[in-house]
Amino acid sequence: MKFTSTILICLLALSTGMKAQFRWLNPKPTANKIISVEFLNKDYGWIHTSHRIWSTSDGGDNWVEQYTSNTCIVDVCVLDSNRLWFSLHAGSLLYTDDAGASWYLCGHLDLAISDMHVIGTDHIWLSGFMGGENCLYFSKDGGNTWRGSESCDHFFKGIYFTDKSSGWVAAKDGLMRTGNGGWSW
């Protein structure tokens, strides 16, 4: 009995300590469902709902709405405090190089985008659905031209590159790797 009471007291103390580490910010900045969050450091971060982008420069105490889209926003990739990419489900990309003061719509594909990864301002990888197939696409010129990867028979999600050549993608049947920038997997 004493052992059970000791465990119960420890669990209660532990759960109380864990609660103190988190602070509820909802409904700030929005009461809508937040789809993803990405922070550059402890102060600068971005979230997006299905149609809006919000930013903070004070660790989430205050949020500023930066962009409203007519199309569903899918993913965010933060390069630094000024350069960000957002992918839109309808096959377009949003880019800013001034921390969201102005936005550029670029890189349209007839692709329902499901994930994105960007290295610098020029190398972009996208996964999505086109014509009933799951596909990977990449651009080496900031989204002006696109090339499809040779592998389109998998369900792709979770693209990550460490540099312009080495990358991984989570596929339905496992993890795939490239060492040549996405030309082959």
Enclosing H/E stretch for 1: none
Is 125:112 a contact under the CB 8 Å cutoff? Answer: no
Of 90, 84, 16, nearest in space to 54 by CA: 84
Give the pLDDT confidence of 60-101 residue by residue, as tens digits.
888 888 888 888 888 888 888 888 888 887 788 888 889 888
Amino acid at 40: L
Give the pLDDT confidence of 115-158 residue by residue, as tens digits.
888 887 788 888 887 777 777 888 888 888 888 775 566 667 78
- Asked if the structure places residue 72 within a domain, the reply is yes
Residues 6+ apart with CB under 8 A from 102: 96
pLDDT value at residue 162: 92
Q: CATH number, domain at 59?
A: 2.120.10.30
- Asked if the structure places residue 66 within a domain, the reply is yes
Strand partners, 148: 137
| N residues, the chain | 185
pLDDT value at residue 4: 47
Residues 6+ apart with CB under 8 A from 130: 109, 110, 111, 112
Strands of the sheet containing 174-178, edge to edge, are 156-161, 167-171, 174-178
Domain count, the chain: 1
pLDDT value at residue 42: 92
- pTM value is 0.70
Enclosing H/E stretch for 7: helix 2-19
- Asked if the structure places residue 54 within a domain, the reply is yes
Q: What is the domain extent for residue 70?
A: 32-178
